[in-house]
Amino acid sequence: MSNPVLNIGICGFGTVGQGVWKHLSANRARLESRLGVRLNLARAAVRDLRRPRDVRIPGRLLTDDALSIARDPSIQIVCELMGGTKAARQVTLTALRAGKVVVSANKALICEHGAEIMAAARRHGGHFFFEASVAGGIPIIKALREGLVANRFPRIYGILNGTCNYILTRMKEQNAPYAEVLADAKRLGYAEADESLDVDGWDTAHKAAVLAWLAHGVWVRTDQMIVEGISRLTPADIRNAATLGFGIKLLAVITRDFRRDELSVRVHPTLLPAGNVIANVNGVFNAISVSGDVVGTTLYSGRGAGRDATASAVISDIADAASLLRHGKGAHLLGEEPVGPSRCRLAPPESIRGRYYVRLTVKDQPGVLARVASEMARHRVSIATVIQGPADRPRAASLVLTTHESDERAIGHTLRRLRSLATVLEEPVLLRIGDFAS
């Protein structure tokens, strides 16, 4: 008896789509032997039928109508690799309503429409796989949904954007300004022409929303998070951090206080102790620390983006989808609610506690530090250390302060007061200090 054929349609044939086609074709025999099915790359949807591509496929397999793949009754697995949210949402919902399996790498789609997508999968008997949407080739979603299913997660944090990590690494290693490194990153293809999604923190925020839902069953919108990027960081900040015994990384931080039943999701540059493992993850790599109440802390690191890393995660989901369709394995993991309890509220600012780094550019005159200290004390923000030095502008000085533990409400009030001082010449730079155990 011959193995059944599973037809696969790919919607979106850019960098990732071509990578999936290439690697799935190369490894098809091995995968088919393990899964007991035949995997047929049936069709691919593209924006422009005439555009040349690195991966060549027969023209008869190409279409410029992605919905036709979602509707095709002969295609059981639809890979949504289009990017964006409007057309991708339509393709995803159409396929799920037809009872198909959808494999997606689209974190923005999941962040904005995840609840609707999961509901459609449950209602119509479809299934939704999305390992490639977070951290590229790192199997973090499988870890949360399967390997760590016995755990509750008080803290998940890590580097989820390779572009930002590359920029910060170069700034540190070469003492180079942000704008110069960003220009190099664009030339090398590590940053998009419009870099704002990456460097302003939004790409990381979309991924953090997916992880928060997986771990805690709550969809947190990006406007409910603290989201800050890296564009105001300078080589001086990186040198100051090193002097204090820290490195700087753009982190997603997801914390759950189970006693208060409060959840916090944040994205911001963070000072990590130099000995912290994630502080030493450099270049385009991602790294995630997951603290479980049963297992303790586990760490995951690897390439977080690019054709091959993302294609690896997509093909892993295709293999799981094939196993599900062939043997019925894994059905309980797809379209169901996540592992964590979902009854919690978002933490108010006063519940989000930590230490802070504040850099001020001030007039170089006597009494300025005393005035700054007075304003901070007024809001019960206590200064731990002070570094004074010259600023990049004439007749100005740089004040770098670290604080003892405070909270987001108090530090927010403090910064608003500091901005209003005539002696403060520029917008203050605020960074969080990550006092994590690993």
pLDDT more than 70, % of the chain: 95
Return mean pLDDT, the chain. 91
Cβ partners under 8 Å of residue 363, min gap 6: 395, 396, 397, 422, 423, 425
Closest CA to 21 of 277, 248, 311, 290: 311
pTM: 0.89
On the question of a common fold for 5-137+307-333 and 151-303, the answer reads: no
Q: What fold, for 349-433?
A: Alpha-Beta Plaits (3.30.70)
Q: Is 219 left (phi over 0), alpha (psi -120 to 50) or beta?
A: beta
Distance from C-alpha of 186 to C-alpha of 1, rounded to nearest angstrom: 53
Check 100, 172, 207, 249 and give the catalytic one. Answer: 207
* Of 335 and 409, the one with more pLDDT: 409
* Contact between residue 235 and residue 180 where contact means Cβ atoms under 8 Å apart: no
pLDDT digits (tens, 9 = 90+) for 118-158: 999 999 999 999 988 888 778 898 899 888 989 999 999 99
Convert 98-112 to b/e letters by CB count within 10 Å (16 or more is b): bebbbbbbbbbbbbb
* Contact between residue 9 and residue 42 where contact means Cβ atoms under 8 Å apart: yes
Tokens read off for 425: 């010449």
* CA dist 205 → 33, 224, 228, 254, 392 (Å): 39, 10, 9, 11, 32
Distance from C-alpha of 372 to C-alpha of 423, rounded to nearest angstrom: 9
DSSP state, residue 401? E
* CA dist 80 → 133, 164, 356 (Å): 11, 25, 41
> Residue 253, SS3?
strand
Say whether pLDDT at 337 is over 70.
no
Least confident of 173-187, 298-312, 369-383: 298-312
Check residue 276 and give its pLDDT.
94
* CA dist 195 → 149, 198, 231, 388 (Å): 36, 6, 10, 33
Check residue 334 and give its pLDDT.
45
Q: What fold, for 5-137+307-333?
A: Rossmann fold (3.40.50)
Amino acid at the residue 108: A
pLDDT digits (tens, 9 = 90+) for 3-19: 889 999 999 998 889 99
329 is catalytic: no
Phi/psi at 391 (5° precision): -100, 175
Check residue 54 and give its pLDDT.
87
Distance from C-alpha of 259 to C-alpha of 220, rounded to nearest angstrom: 20
pLDDT digits (tens, 9 = 90+) for 206-250: 999 999 999 999 999 999 999 999 999 999 999 999 999 999 999
pLDDT digits (tens, 9 = 90+) for 268-309: 999 999 999 999 999 989 999 999 999 999 999 988 767 788
DSSP state, residue 37? S
With both helix axes pointing from N to C terminus, report the angle between 28-35 and 307-327 in degrees, rounded to the nearest 10. 30
Query: Was domain 151-303 assigned CATH 3.30.360.10?
Result: yes
Rounded mean pLDDT of 237-266? 96
> Residue 92, SS3?
helix
Distance from C-alpha of 317 to C-alpha of 297, rounded to nearest angstrom: 25
Closest CA to 237 of 403, 358, 356: 358
Label the pairing between strands 127-129 and 101-104: parallel
pLDDT category at 340 given cuts 50, 70, 90 is very low
Angle (CA) 383-258-134 rounded to 5° is 85
pLDDT digits (tens, 9 = 90+) for 40-79: 999 999 998 888 888 889 989 999 999 999 999 999 999 9
- Any idea where the domains of the chain sit in the sequence? 5-137+307-333, 151-303, 349-433
Distance from C-alpha of 110 to C-alpha of 88, rounded to nearest angstrom: 10
Say whether pLDDT at 417 is over 50.
yes
DSSP string computed for 48-70: -TTS--SS---GGGEES-HHHHH
Residues constituting the chain: 438
Rounded mean pLDDT of 186-213? 90
Amino acid at the residue 421: L
Check residue 293 and give its pLDDT.
94
DSSP state, residue 146? I
